[in-house]
Amino acid sequence: MLLLSPLFAIMSLVSAEAEDPAIIGFDFENGLSTNETISLTGSIEFDSIPDSVVWTIVTDTETLTGELTDNLQELNSQNNRMIWSWHTDLNVAELPVCTCYFTITVSFEDSSWSDTRVIFVGDTMRSGLLMHYPRDADWAHGSITVIGWSKHPTVWANSEIRFFSNPAISSVQSCSEEGNSDTTQLLSVISTSGDYIVPLDISSLDDGWHSLYVENYDPSGVAFAQQCVAIRVNNAPPQISIVGDYYFVENSGAISFDASASDDPYWGREGMEYMWVLRKPSHSGQTPLDVQIGGSSYSLPADSGGNYTLTVRLTDSGGVSSTKAFEFDVENKVPNAVASISGTPMLDGNTIKLGGSDGWELDASGSSDTDNDLASLRCVWKIDYEPMYEGCERTLTWPQDTGLELILTLDVIDDDEAFSSISVLLIHPDSSEPLPYSVIVLLVSAVFMLSAILLRYRSTDETSGIPTWDSDSD
């Protein structure tokens, strides 16, 4: 039985980020069958002349290689990339009867690209099998699509293709041995000849390294072929942990949240990417106030009260993400209203009799709030609860249609519409003040006492005018 190296299953082995990959062309199709020496030709398209071009042919028992670099012939290109032709003669006499894997490898600096074709030499019975995708160490989540090619050299052979996987401890252990499809739960089974594209459901697999096998099944082993590629299964999303308080009081400092304890259960923290989105539903609904890409922590000023939602999206190294929303409140500090009228302090509930008659200076500039709200404080002055002036320093003119008393109210409002108020009763200068209650009580008491004395005096006079009885006159 034959377990083919992933080398022949992968079109591009390594590709430099700075270079577009080389395109390797063949002038013959997969499954070429020959019993005699033939000439193999093709082309290479690349940005510059390659450092080396090598052919390799692998049989069941041996591997042959040869150089093509010196035989390249430049062709006319229809674009800004260069094209070369290559050719080599395949001497069948040097090869055993085999299902051979013929590979062209193009190298440039630290990068290399390969492509493979299957050639049936002689009366071989073994099937040909290629797996172009996935590539070695690719990530897989939920499902994965396998792309490749399969063919039997004889029409009577069973064309059943099996797909299955085995867990591996590490990338080194992956594909280190032949898989047994008879004792493993199959991911899929198809029957086809030629190119295939097969989606596989791998949502039930545990996270970790897995050997993904594709097999041309043949219990007798005559037509059997198997290929394997190591994949990284990443079904479980990362787990988000946010450290931070739910309640803050508005101040001039900062609020911080830390998600550095977040983790991926299997693949760990390395390569995780963070995205933070801050919203303020109490003021701007779901419109983001800020978006931060990167960083395991997030900070914002603590100088604006309201209800906030901080959403963190965490993506692990395999591209699987989790999202978590964290709600917190910043309590807005109510402004402190301080005011005076013509120098007289306004204390809530007091009565102030005004002096003069040409207007009175209203001053609330001494009102205070947190630093962020101080510059935006608004002062609204009301007369008998109706707004009359706006501004922290104004001049009061007594309304013509108002009596000799009115209620003056000051509202000091911040940018969150939080406010504090002061109300006082103002007495017009022309108003004559009634006697104080205590004086009235004293006068009433004095009148009552005087009345009592007069009544007693009269009673005494009447008593002294009554004639007395003289008993001796009898």
The model's pLDDT over 385-432, given as tens digits with 9 standing for 90+, comes to 999 999 999 999 999 888 889 999 999 998 778 899 999 999 998 877
Alpha-carbon span 26 to 18, nearest angstrom = 25
**pLDDT of 14:** 43
What does DSSP say about strands 419-427 and 351-353: parallel, antiparallel, or unpaired? Answer: parallel
Q: Is the model's pLDDT at 10 over the cut of 80?
A: no
Is the pLDDT assigned to residue 21 strictly greater than 60? yes
Which phi and psi (to 5°) does residue 121 adopt? -110, 120
What is the widest separation between alpha-carbon atoms in the chain?
A: 192
Delimiting residues of CATH 2.60.40.10 domain(s) in the chain: 1-124, 127-235, 340-427
Helix (H, G, I), strand (E, B) or coil at 464: helix
> CA distances (Å), 396 to each of 195, 334, 360, 407, in order?
91, 26, 5, 12
3-state secondary structure of 235: coil
Quick check: 9 pLDDT over 60? no
Spatial CA neighbour of 241 closest among 227, 258, 224, 228: 258
Tell me how far apart the alpha carbons of residues 370 and 374 are, in angstroms, rounded to a whole number. Answer: 6
Report the pLDDT averaged over residues 178-188. Answer: 95
Confidence (pTM): 0.72
Say whether pLDDT at 446 is over 90: no
Measured between alpha carbons, how far is residue 247 from residues 238, 311, 328, 417 in Å?
Answer: 27, 16, 6, 20
33-91 pLDDT, tens per residue? 999 999 999 999 999 999 999 999 999 899 999 999 998 999 988 888 999 999 999 98
Q: Report the pLDDT averaged over residues 97-103.
A: 96
Minimum mean pLDDT among 9-13, 21-25, 243-247, 352-356: which range?
Answer: 9-13
Q: Which has more pLDDT, 356 or 325?
A: 325
Span 349-358, average pLDDT: 87
DSSP characters for 247-262?
A: EEE--SSEEEEE-TT-
CB 63 within 8 A of CB 57: yes
At 12 the pLDDT is 41
Level-2 CATH architecture, domain 1-124: Sandwich (2.60)
Candidate ranges 12-16, 104-108, 250-254; pick with highest mean pLDDT: 104-108
Q: Which residue has the higher pLDDT, 16 or 457?
A: 457
Mean pLDDT computed over 255-279: 96
Mean model confidence pLDDT for the chain: 88
Has domain 340-427 been given CATH number 2.60.40.10?
yes
Q: Which CATH number fits domain 247-331: 2.40.50.140, 1.10.3720.10, 2.60.40.1220, 3.40.50.12780?
A: 2.60.40.1220
Q: Which residue has the higher pLDDT, 296 or 20?
A: 296
- What is the pLDDT at residue 401? 85
Please compute the mean of the pLDDT values over residues 202-215 and round it to a whole number. Answer: 97
Instruction: Please report which confidence band the pLDDT of residue 261 belongs to, taking 50, 70 and 90 as the band edges.
Output: very high
What dotted CATH number matches 127-235? 2.60.40.10
Query: Where would I find the H helices in 330-403?
Result: 371-374
Query: Which residues, in sequence order, are CB contacts of 221 under 8 Å at separation 6+?
Result: 1
Taking the C-alpha atoms of residue 139 and residue 402, their distance in angstroms, rounded to an integer, is: 81
Helix (H) or strand (E) holding 232: strand 225-233
In the predicted structure, residue 273 carries a pLDDT above the cut 50:
yes
If you average pLDDT over residues 208-212, what whole number do you get?
A: 98
Structure confidence at residue 452 as a pLDDT band (50, 70, 90): confident
Q: Where along the chain do the CATH 2.60.40.1220 domains lie? A: 247-331
